[in-house]
Amino acid sequence: MITADIEVAPPPATAVPATLRLGRFTLDGDDALERHLAQTCTRVLSGIRGLIPAAKLEAVLLGGGYGRGEGGVLRSAAGDRPYNDLEFYVGLEGNRHVNEFRFRRRLGVLGEILTHLADAEIEFKISSLAELRAQPVSMFSYDLVAGHRVLWCNALAAGLPGCDHHRFAASVPEAEGTRLLMNRCSGLLFARVELDRGPKALTPEKADFIRRNIAKVQLACGDALLTSFGRYHWSCRERHHRLEQLASSEPWPWLDAVIRHHRVGVDFKLHPVSSVAAHTVLAELHREVTALALQCWLAVESRRLGRAFPSAAAYAADPVNKCPGSPPLRNFLLNLRVQRFRFRSRPNPWRHPRQRIFHALALRLWEPGTLTDVTLRHQFERELAMEAGRGAEWLPAYRALWSRVQ
User: What integer pLDDT is reported at residue 3 of this predicted model?
Assistant: 35
CATH number for the domain running over 173-306: 1.20.120
The residue-averaged pLDDT of 353-381 equals 96
The terminus-to-terminus CA distance of the chain in angstroms comes to 27
| 107 touches 126 (CB < 8 A) | yes
Length of the chain: 406
φ/ψ bin of 60: left (φ > 0), alpha (ψ from -120 to 50), beta (otherwise): beta
What is the pLDDT, as a whole number, of residue 9? Answer: 28
Tens of pLDDT, residues 136-179: 999 999 999 999 999 999 998 899 999 999 999 999 999 999 99
- pLDDT over 50 at 109, yes or no: yes
Amino acid 8: pLDDT: 26
CA angle 308, 312, 315 (to 5 degrees): 45
State how far the Cα of 92 lies from the Cα of 59, in Å rounded to an integer: 7
Confidence class for position 107, pLDDT limits 50, 70, 90: very high
- How far is residue 184's CA from residue 296's CA, in Å, rounded to a whole number? 12
Whole-structure pTM over 0.85, yes or no?
yes
pLDDT at 331 over 70: yes
**In this predicted model, what pLDDT tens digit does every residue of 277-329 receive, in sequence order?**
899 999 999 999 999 999 999 999 999 999 999 999 999 999 999 999 899 99
Dist CA 71 CA 40 (whole Å): 14
Own/partner contacts of 96-101, CB < 8 Å, gap of 24 or more, are: 96/126, 96/127, 96/128, 96/131, 99/56, 99/126, 99/128, 100/126
| Type of residue at 171 | S
| Alpha-carbon torsion angle 386, 391, 393, 395, nearest 10 | 80
Residue partners of 102: CB distance under 8 A and separation at least 6: none
Confidence check: pLDDT of 384 > 70: yes
SS3 assignment for the chain:
CECCCECCCCCCCCEEEECCCCCCCCCCCCHHHHHHHHHHHHHHHHHHHHHCCCCCEEEEEECHHHHCCCCCEECCCCCCEECCCEEEEEEECCCHHHHHHHHHHHHHHHHHHHHHHHCCCEEEEEECHHHHHHCCCCHHHHHHHHECEEEEEEHHHCCCCCCHHHCCHHHCCCHHHHHHHHHHHHHHHHHHHHHCCCHHHCCHHHHHHHHHHHHHHHHHHHHHHHHHCCCCCCCHHHHHHHHHHHHCCCCCCCHHHHHHHHHHHHHHHHCCCCCCCCHHHHHHHHHHHHHHHHHHHHHHHHHHHCCCCCCHHHHHHCCCCCCCCCCHHHHHHHHHHHCCCCCCCCCCCCCCCHHHHHHHHHHHHHCCCCCCCHHHHHHHHHHCCCCCCCHHHHHHHHHHHHHHHC
Name the residue ranges covered by the structural domains of the chain.
15-168, 173-306, 309-406
Answer whether 298's CB lies under 8 Å from 304's CB.
no
State how far the Cα of 401 lies from the Cα of 21, in Å rounded to an integer. 39
The answer to whether residues 82 and 66 touch, using CB atoms and an 8 Å cutoff, is yes
CA distance to 13, 235, 333, 365, 383, per residue, from 321 (Å): 47, 32, 17, 21, 14
